[in-house]
Structure 1
Amino acid sequence: MGRGAQSLARVAVVVRAGAAPLWWLGLFGAAIGALVPGLTGRRIGLLAGAALFILALAATAVARRRRYAHFAKAATRAGRADILQDRRVTLRIRRRALRWWFVAAFVVAVGSSFALPGTVGLLIAGVGAGLWLKALWLGRLERDGEYLLWLRTDWLSGGAVGKAVKGFRTTGVAAGDAAPGGARRR
Structure 2
Amino acid sequence: MARAARGGQGLARVAVVVRAGAAPLWWLGVCAAAIGLLVPGLTGRRIGVLAGAALFIVATAVVATVRRKRYRVLAGAAARAGKHDVLQDRAVTVRVWRRGHRWWLLGAAVVALLSSFAVPVAGGLLLAGVGAGLRLKAAWLGRRERDADTLLWVRVDWLARDGGRPAAPSVKGYRATGIAAGDAAPGGARRRTAALV
TM range (shorter): over 0.9
Q: What is residue 88 of structure 1 aligned with on the other side?
A: 91
**Is 1:118 the equivalent of 2:121?**
yes
RMSD: 0.7
Divergent runs of 4+, >2 A: none
The residue correspondences of 1:4-153 to structure 2 (distance < 5 A) are: 4-153=7-156
Is 1:171 the counterpart of 2:177? The answer is yes
Q: Calculate percent identity across the aligned residue pairs.
A: 68
Shift, 1:78, TM fit = 0.2
Deviation at 1:163, TM superposition (A): 1.6
The aligned amino acid for 2:89 is D
Q: Deviation string for 1:132-179 (max 9, x for gaps)?
A: 000000000000000000000011133011121001000000100000
- 5+ residue gaps, structure 2, are 193-197
Give the TM-score, by structure 2 length.
0.93
CA shift for structure 1 position 72: 0.4
SS of 2:28's equivalent?
helix
User: How big is the shift at 1:68?
Assistant: 0.2
Q: Aligned to 2:116, what secondary structure does the other structure show?
A: helix
Q: How many residues align?
A: 186
Amino acid at match of 1:170: A
State the distance in 2 between where 1:167 and 1:121 align.
Answer: 35
Q: Which has the higher helix share?
A: 1
Give me the TM-score of the superposition, normalised by structure 1. Answer: 0.99
CA distance in structure 1 between the partners assigned to 2:85 and 2:79 by the alignment: 12
Contact 2:5 2:86 in 1 (8 A): no
Q: CA deviation at 1:101?
A: 0.8
SS at match of 2:11: strand
Report deviation, 1:2. 3.2
Per-residue displacement from partner, 1:54-112 (whole Å, max 9, x unpaired)? 00000000000000010000000000000000000000000001111100010000001
Structure 2: how far apart are the matches of 1:160 and 1:23? 20
